[in-house]
Amino acid sequence: MIRRIWTIFKARNNEFFRDHAAYGWNLLFPFLVIIGFSIMFNEKQQILYKVGIVYESGPGQNLNAEKITGSAIDDTQFLMFKKTKFTEFIEFPDFQIALDKLKHHRIDFLINPDTRQYWLSTTSPKGYVVEKLLQAGLVSKDSLYTRKKITGSEILYSEWLFPGILGMNIMFSALYGVGYAVVRYRKNGVLKRFSVTPLRPYEFLAAQIISRMYLLTLTTLIVFLGCMLLFDFRCQGSYWSLLTIFFLGGFSMISVGLVIASRSSSEEFANGILNLISWPMMFLSEVWFSLEGTKPWVKTLSAFFPLTHLIDGARKIMNDGASLYDIRYQISMLAVMAFLFFMTGSILFKWNDE
């Protein structure tokens, strides 16, 4: 028995090491993830809180304390507040833009040093902590800053997060449900047998897409309805608009899976490529946290991910009641990506790996 186990053990190891592509990805992928995050978050300190700043006289202008208070009182409270570690201060040119970012949990706190007012979401734990940090800079008994109420309805963090979770679920189901499955078919010889039948490649691909879209729609609907019943989530916009953005997003990511599976016959290699795509897409598409205040090239890179436009469009529909016209940019980007990826996958597709 030991000999048989040892023989199978050696055979599987030899099979893995002979697959140089898969072996390389297993070694390379962790380094790529570490290098990528070290570049994106290459700061001496970790950013825990994001504070938006708006000025009456425009961004980058100095505070004129005498103009506001009628005396030459230095704003020591604000100066001490800006020295807070692990906090990033982001200037905005327009108050309404900054307030919208605050409502959607893209920043944790908003302050106007000119008028000495600040805003925070009552549902944000980080906003509560930042308020305490501001108050900790008091040099006298009374604070120079007054808290103002947010106009309009506040968005709970769970309501902001919900579309991101749905989009992430669609992404994993689309990429692995098509890309990984097609590679397994090719490795097992199923596609080779299909090649001697009247079945055309585009017919096979169309069947894969239709099947996965059906499963995606069914599973997303179950999760959506279940969460609405359990957590009392509400969709402010049209359900048909939401279905449209989910459909386009799912189709575009299925097409990405087809591109990956168009030639490969190695499950390990395909799994490495899928990880290389899905993990950065998940972290850079604002599923869990906002990219507000990050380096510009990070936001530019995220715009090339279909998941970014899917989640952005879904959040605008569910949280803000946006119409299809309001999210026409996201719809256009998803449609273009779906077409390009599908055409690329169809052109590159082969029944076998020869």
> Residue 71 has what pLDDT?
35
> Residue 50 has what pLDDT?
87
Residues making up the chain, counted from first to last: 354
How many CA atoms are closer than 13 Å to the CA of 283, on its beta-carbon side? 13
Which domain-ending residue is among 102, 119, 147? 147
> Residue 64 has what pLDDT?
44
> Residue 280 has what pLDDT?
83
Is 196 within the bounds of a domain? yes
Residues spanned by the domain of 126: 49-147
DSSP letters spanning 220-246:
HHHHHHHHHHHH----SS-HHHHHHHH
Is 87 within the bounds of a domain? yes
> Residue 332 has what pLDDT?
93
Which domain-ending residue is among 147, 172, 192? 147
Q: Is 45 left (phi over 0), alpha (psi -120 to 50) or beta?
A: beta
The rounded average pLDDT for each run of 10 residues, N- to C-terminus, in the chain (354 residues) is: 58 58 54 55 64 71 41 62 82 86 84 86 81 72 68 70 84 81 79 77 77 81 80 82 90 87 76 81 81 78 90 89 89 92 84 66
Is 139 within the bounds of a domain? yes
Question: Domain check: are 217 and 124 in the same one?
Answer: no
How many domains, the chain?
A: 2
Question: Domain check: are 139 and 190 in the same one?
Answer: no
> Residue 262 has what pLDDT?
81
CATH number at residue 98: 3.40.190
Question: Domain check: are 211 and 109 in the same one?
Answer: no
